[in-house]
């Protein structure tokens, strides 16, 4: 990957708080998933599930679940992704890792399931952000929402559980805050 392309998904990319009216088409969302699905997960478990909120009805349901500080951000976004954990992801393991019986390693083992979900769902959400940026979309990941209300509104059967939300679209530069610094290598890393 060229330095220019790498910069477009990291150092030059920004977290947007508002978006233009330009729509995000279903083909783009499909292309997004077709890229993010290749990111590695433990035992190729692929436990994240994605709900791309695009309709007015779904957006209204989600608006009822977010903190007041995130309402305008979500309202302006053409898409908000609900990044969720499938608590029975292991039921798909026969497709994802056919050479081994991983279903029995997880079935009925809530602590083992929770451990895998805690690591791998946010990882797949990060792949989604990188893929979205690579496709020219801007993103606004957020935590300011009521998880229980979101789960009731979108996942009433309890199988999927929200991890985080991420607005996506074509960012409005007027919505940007000044860029915050990041830690230096010396402050954040060790070579052992």
The helix/strand count (H/E) of the chain reads as 9, 4
Tokens of 163: 């991890």
pLDDT surpassing 90 at residue 112: yes
State the average pLDDT over residues 159-173: 98
The secondary structure of 29-93 as a DSSP string is: HHHHHHHHTTS--GGG---EEEEEE-SHHHHHHHHTTB-HHHHHHHHH-SEEEEEEEETTGGGGH
pLDDT surpassing 90 at residue 102: no
- Residue 50's pLDDT is 98
- Residue 122's pLDDT is 98
pLDDT surpassing 90 at residue 5: no
Which string of b and e fits 155-172 if b means at least 16 CB within 10 Å? beeeebbbbbbbbbbbbe
Q: Which residue has the higher pLDDT, 183 or 1?
A: 183
- Residue 103's pLDDT is 87
Residues 52-100 pLDDT 10s? 999 999 999 999 999 999 999 999 999 999 999 999 999 999 999 999 9
Contact of 115 with 130, CB cutoff 8 Å: no
How far is it, in rounded angstroms, from Cα 192 to Cα 177? 36
Domain ranges, ordered by start, for the chain: 15-172
75 closest CA partner among 57, 63, 85: 63
Residues 19-49 pLDDT 10s? 999 999 999 999 999 999 999 999 999 999 9
pLDDT surpassing 90 at residue 1: no
168 closest CA partner among 82, 77, 35: 77
Q: Which CATH number describes the domain made up of 15-172?
A: 3.40.109.10
Regarding beta strands 79-86 and 138-142, do their DSSP bridges make them parallel or antiparallel, or are they unpaired? Answer: unpaired
Q: Note the pTM of the prediction, 2 decimals.
A: 0.95
110-134 helix and 26-36 helix, angle to the nearest 10 degrees: 120
How far is it, in rounded angstroms, from Cα 182 to Cα 149? 33
State the average pLDDT over residues 158-179: 97
């Amino acid at each position: 990957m060229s330095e220019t392309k790498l910069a477009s998904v990291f150092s030059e990319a920004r977290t947007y708080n508002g978006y233009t009216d330009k729509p995000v088409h279903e083909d783009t969302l499909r292309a997004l998933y077709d890229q993010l699905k290749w990111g590695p997960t433990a035992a190729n478990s692929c436990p994240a599930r994605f709900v791309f909120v695009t309709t007015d009805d779904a957006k209204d349901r989600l608006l009822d679940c977010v903190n007041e500080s995130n309402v305008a951000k979500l309202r302006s976004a053409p898409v908000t992704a609900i990044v969720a954990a499938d608590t029975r992801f292991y039921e798909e393991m026969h497709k994802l890792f056919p050479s081994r019986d991983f279903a029995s390693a997880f079935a009925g083992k809530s602590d083992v399931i929770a451990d895998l979900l805690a690591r791998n769902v946010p990882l797949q959400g990060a792949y989604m952000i990188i893929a979205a940026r690579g496709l020219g979309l801007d993103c606004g990941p957020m935590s300011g929402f009521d998880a229980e209300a979101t789960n009731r509104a979108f996942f009433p059967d309890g199988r999927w559980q929200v991890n985080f939300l991420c607005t996506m679209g074509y960012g409005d530069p007027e919505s940007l805050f000044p860029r915050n610094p990041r830690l230096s290598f010396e402050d954040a890393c060790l070579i052992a």
